[in-house]
Amino acid sequence: MTNDLEEKAGVILNEIIIHEVGMRDGLQAENEVVSTDQKIKWIKQLAETGVDIIQIGSFVNPKRMPQMADTDELFNYFSKDENKLINVVLSGLVLNEKGLERGMACGVEMFCMGVSASETHSQKNTGMSIAEATERIIAMAKNAMAAGKKVQVSVQSAFGCGYEGKISEEKVLSLVKIFLENGLKNISLADTAGHAIPDQVERLFSSIHKLDEQIQTACHFHNTYGLGIANAYAAYKSGVKYFESSFAGLGGCPFTAVAAGNIATEDLVHLFQQMSLRNDIKLENLIAISKEAAEYFKRELPGTIYKTGRIQ
């Protein structure tokens, strides 16, 4: 998967990859349902910044999450030859077999799916136990890969749970091992509750990288307690390659105790560019999108760099 993605995204081997999730994880937390036309505009603008992957929606029950009701329509739109985006992969989140079926029908390029390490969060998020979710996700992932799709599997609530508190690192590693045993090598750890701290991040990812030399790791941090960027840096130092973030810091899982936004994409890109990494991404364009989002939602959003500008 990785070489194909790198070739399509136009980045060099061993470079970090930015997975923009604001259109899904960001907008799902908003009370207001954003119009399809506005979403299309933002997706096109995000693609022009040079980010590598854009997650444009999730295949969930529209009655439960009306913000995602037009996900099929969005993928169908960008699947048309005249609307195809260049040098960016479009991803979608699926929770169950029906979601996978919908995604396959409308042209999803990369499927994201996961299992929570917290029984309570798993039940609230999917209505399934960890054991049931794991069995079903593995089967779904294999079906998607057999169809030639890119797949990323995740362990959610990997660093702690808003309901259960501390999550055993062995529990997280056991889920990662099950994924690896089933040939799933692109694995994300999601800090759904925002409980992660940098030394925990470094320790856990270092342990995972020892399990399989071909593993490709991703991270997804929420900024609930202000440690998102610090955790991203710890993940980078541990060898993580894929970084999930949301423009303006929008987002938050609605099925956790304290919902808070993601790392802001422009903040993350600013960090990496200060380290002379990913200078190909157009930071000023990201800042402009975040400013537009703040105007759209008529409030100050959690991101920092869209307000301060880059360090000169």
- Cβ–Cβ < 8 Å for 109, 73: no
The one-character DSSP state at 167 is -
Structure tokens of 113?
A: 């799916």
The span from the CA of 285 to the CA of 269, in Å, is: 11
Buried b (16+ CB within 10 A) or exposed e, 288-306: ebbbbbbeeeeeebbbbbb
The span from the CA of 8 to the CA of 87, in Å, is: 5
165 φ/ψ sector (left φ>0, alpha ψ -120 to 50, else beta) = left
Nearest Cα to Cα of residue 87 among 115, 63, 52, 112 = 52
The secondary element (H helix, E strand) that includes residue 221 is strand 216-221
- Cβ–Cβ < 8 Å for 262, 209: no
Active site residue 219: no
Residues tagged active-site: 253
